[in-house]
Structure 1
């Protein structure tokens, strides 16, 4: 079997702050939402998808070889300034960056305090200055705008003079596309703001072209150079101007980022059809909004730069450059113009475009033109050969009827991996998305809160399947007694379109009233709860075809064992395919260590019995059980050690499972799980 090549991100962003800086996590979360995959507001269209990790621990080593580019944003407050250990840590990091001499990595110090410049050596770097700003909202806007621009410059890596100098890279430029009749006033305001408040460049109009040069050639060349974005000021007369239309078409054919500012007041005689498939923002008439417009445009430039590097890297890793046509944006009807120009009028072709996958209605339209074209995202590359073998134009058949149990839950050691709950929610959404898109049936237990995972799943099903078939793609939600007694009829009715509820009755011989909620407030009741949860997990295991585990608590649970440990044990016992993703730590990482022959402290009896309530429950449980059913951590550890990697039965090689055990990258995790599931489903 061919050895799996390791995925190396084109860019990684780290956010650092002192553990005593209380607002550090808030800034880190906002940076993650801006550069990563924000799912809180919109799970379908999202931010650039750049991996973002957190660090407030000086014992954490950052490997500069783990990504082509690494950008470190350091939030410097008074706590960091007076902490000599942090001083030394940052100096060592800065010296390592300087020793590379390749300009591929950057540290961006951010002045939270006016004393931030007292740090040794680091003070020689140009700071992103926030300490002079009073408003938290304005601080955040400046931070995100400046950081986005600087990271764009890092990816461009184009020096101002020559590669032999140590001067900073040239600033990103914007091309302001506007109709003079009703767009020049805002265009001038944006140009003036950029020149006075930012390090960006602008290409405005004929006044920026030297005498004697071709107007059309200058515009076309400006649009074609890769550091330019087209900022469209869409006024009432914009679409009626031939030069404006030419600029948009040239930008699209050149794969240049476009952002549209909507300034329409009365209306248009005819809307211009090629202004779609791009970010838009509604102008509210305030000069203060110019910074928002610039930030949105910079984010789109960064998304474009990162996507192109990301796609190039992945097609090289999977050695499919000659088998796919890559797009740096989501495909649209106009994409066929460029595809035919570069590929010829082929009937069979795989088109690779950025995550996330398109909804069913867009795919249906695209495949109506080219029925045998396959439209895939980078995360789907490992299943490329299965997609190419699909005879129908349906994009959703590769894992058809495969029932996958998805267990993703919080773990107490997330931060030691540079992660928090936002990363965990991201993992849940992305795994759910790709399992559903490829036709799998999703089984999970838990979260029915308003705004929780079930609501997210509802939106995914609604987006990726036509209404007439949504009922066939319902999520199976397993609820153990007595927990399901708290699921009201109203909740069940509200979620009926997306969820099949599997209410698992109370254990036999439990001698309880199944209609009354039983609180886990004594050892006898906790034994009943443990048996109920075991029964639910057994029934789910009987129904599923494969199990995926991420994270998981190792303490403060209500079951016989930590939940994900019991699920792993049952799956391995019954020979069900099991995928263990260790990059989020927790119980899953401990199970991995046991499979590898080690003895993780978290899965020892001594560690578990340190919890008095649990210890009392175990004694009560074992006093009434036969030997095969008793709670015995030594037995479980020996079982896992004897099983080993080969027992995972998941369609992946040992090398691929070892990657899955350690990878912190959600796309890499999903890619490997899809690869294993596709192999099992198609054998």
Structure 2
């Protein structure tokens, strides 16, 4: 696989399909911590690439092993009787790669799974004994803690993973009010739990500040620790607690706040903000809540270290200003003051880069006032507007059980969220032709636009949505539009002239319940796609299904052909799966995939042959020989040049499984087109 960037870390998960009920919920729960929550797209969570490997046929192993995609790849291999007693799986495991920076973490979900350690690729490796806790009421908490620690140890810890003792443990600094209130009790409970369990090899929490003096010893501990600030009623009023937080902020250390207020706090200490917070009410602190605190501390340590490594890498790649100061969380004014004071720089000359997503407009008033340049890898306060009409051809697709495509479809949604945010923030109009169903991509795009409109505090932020007849005859669709009236401009596409006489009542909805009606739908969808593409300056394609569609061919394939024949700049995001991935493969190999043939489409889509027969008779069918000739003869150099990219960058876009890289390349191409002064027309 060709792609341009090599991120610091990728996580891979392999499991047998017969173990799915037992282990897939754990994998899903862990992934929610590793990837940005699509339900909270502006959250500041981890964004580590994750890849999934399994099969729909229990007797067969996955088709491919995890590839070397990052500087460090951590492969979680879930083992059981099902993997042990299956020769295909044993061969698959024994042939897993052995690269530098490629760590396999065996996880025995049954005791029998440990037998894999006797011979072969896993011989003498240390196994996670997941069977010890999977039946526990706290199985999810222990699973996330154990998996997170191995991800940290193999993926981000600069100490050799073979060091499993105190050297590789995460150092915790428990900051709390020193008198006998809730804070002290909670700190003692955490320390006692660590001392009396095998968590001691994960965390080193020997240092609970014993007195009232903030001396060099305490400061040195803070410089090398993750801080757990236990906020009790007395915490913010204690001078030494304030000093500990200020020191941690100055040293740019990971911090979590444990909110354990019982009654009232007269003033929240300002420095104890801009950090993750865990709410705890229980006293005495029970095992579940201690695990919640430790998970939060471990994940924030991972997020912090990953953010630094990722931003430094992007800086070396030229995405970020070479002189930029790297922050693992959004900047605070006190940190800027310290930078200016210590480095003798002018504040207006500083550039600060922090992880995605960008800050709210209200949060950047002070940076604008001081003319401070703030940025994320994909955005800068100095960015210019693009003012383009950008067509989006993005839709979901049916998963294949992670046999060939090894990403969850939520990566496509995550890409869509981030892409829409960055395009609209640069004052582009988005052109989309989609249906109006709950949880569909149209709703997804419009909700993102609604949130962004409020964040940017602008009066207009439009998405233009093209809707084919007969969809715009349904009153519920118009009510659906009404919910997003502040951001969407609907375009009702008229009935094509050649079928107008076939429709008895243009004001009535027509069900696609017979070949004749399906032909009418296909003509209307083609016209909608033609108008949508014609009104766009460029087209971005991602995802796309191959089956169960209502047009004369898969929708994204038709939109690609219309856009290509119209000489539009096209961005093919192939690494996120679906039809576009197969299209990219066909273009690169100059050999069309079987999925884009009449025979495959007829075999996999009920009623398609009847639709094609009617369409052929009337001269509006899908000509798959013409599609083959077009795709197999595409000049990749021309495709890249139209998009404002080098051929190397365009190939990276076609293959990259990474959301940030895909969006970076799209924005790079759009800026190049803008700088040329006009969209190319040849």
1:80 aligns with 2:83: yes
2:673 matches 1:675: no
Partner of 1:477: 465
Partner Cα separation in structure 2 for residue 406 and residue 395 of structure 1 = 29
1:624 alignment counterpart: 618
Q: Is the 8 A contact 1:432 1:457 kept in 2?
A: yes
- 2:277 counterpart (244, 264, 280): 280
Q: 1 CA distance for matches of 2:64 and 2:344?
A: 45
Matched position secondary structure for 1:473 = coil
Q: In the alignment, is residue 634 of structure 1 matched against residue 625 of structure 2?
A: yes
Match of 1:376 in 2: 375
1:320 Cα deviation from its structure 2 partner: 5.2
Unmatched 5+ residue regions in structure 2? 56-60, 677-682
- Which structure 2 residues correspond to residues 146-185 of structure 1 after superposition, within 5 A? 146-159=146-159, 170-181=168-179, 182=181, 183-185=183-185
The alpha-carbon deviation at position 110 of structure 1 amounts to: 2.1
Q: What are the equivalent positions in structure 2 for 1:196-207 lying under 5 Å apart?
A: 196-197=196-197, 198=199, 199-207=202-210
Alpha-carbon distance in structure 1 between the residues aligned to 2:376 and 2:141: 31
Of 660, 664, 682, which residue of structure 1 is paired with 2:653? 660
* Post-superposition offset of 1:206: 4.1
**Maintained 8 Å contact 1:404/1:440:** no
In structure 2, the partner of 1:563 is 555
Pick which of 29-38 and 529-538 moved more. 29-38
Deviations 1:227-286 (CA, angstroms, capped at 9, x unpaired)? x21100111111111111111111111110110011222322332111111011111215
CA distance in 2, matches of 1:317, 1:585: 26
Q: Separation in 2 of the partners of 1:250 and 1:673? A: 40
Matched-pair contact (CA < 8 Å) for 2:460–2:487: no
1:490 corresponds in structure 2 to 479
TM-score, length of structure 2 as denominator length = 0.88
Match of 1:587 in 2: 579
User: What are the residue-to-residue correspondences of 1:337-416 with 2, within 5 Å?
Assistant: 337-340=337-340, 341-342=342-343, 344-370=345-371, 373-380=372-379, 397-413=384-400, 415=402, 416=404
1:154–1:169: 8 Å Cα contact kept in structure 2? no
Structure 1 residue 414: Cα displacement: 7.7
Instruction: Tell me if 1:437 matches 2:425.
Output: yes
Change (3 A) 1:249 1:168: closer
Change (3 A) 1:319 1:303: closer
Instruction: Give the SS at the match of 2:572.
Output: strand
Query: What's 2:33 paired with?
Result: 34
Over 3 Å counting, the alpha-carbon distance change for 1:455 and 1:359 in structure 2 is farther
Following superposition, the deviation at residue 165 of structure 1 comes to 7.4
* Aligned-pair CA distance for 1:500: 2.1
Q: Does 1:613 align with 2:607?
A: yes
Stretches of structure 1 that go unaligned for 5 or more consecutive residues are 381-386, 388-393
The Cα of 1:51 is off from its aligned counterpart by 0.4
The within-5 A match list for 1:414-429 is 415=402, 416-429=404-417
Pair 1:514-2:511 in alignment: no
Verify: 1:311 aligned to 2:308, yes or no. no
Q: Distance in 1 between matches of 2:130 and 2:88?
A: 24
* Cα drift, residue 406 of structure 1: 4.0
Q: Is the 8 A contact 1:411 1:585 kept in 2?
A: no
Number of residue pairs matched by the alignment: 648
Alpha-carbon spacing, 1:468–1:589, altered in 2? closer, same or farther (3 Å): closer
Tell whether the 8 Å contact from 1:551 to 1:588 is kept in structure 2 after alignment.
yes
Alignment counterpart, residue 239 of structure 2, candidates 230, 242, 255: 242
Partner of 1:546: 538
Alpha-carbon separation, structure 1, partners of 2:624 and 2:15 = 39
Q: 1:449 to 1:188 in 2, by over 3 A?
A: farther
Q: How does 1:104-115 map to 2 (within 5 A)?
A: 104-115=101-112
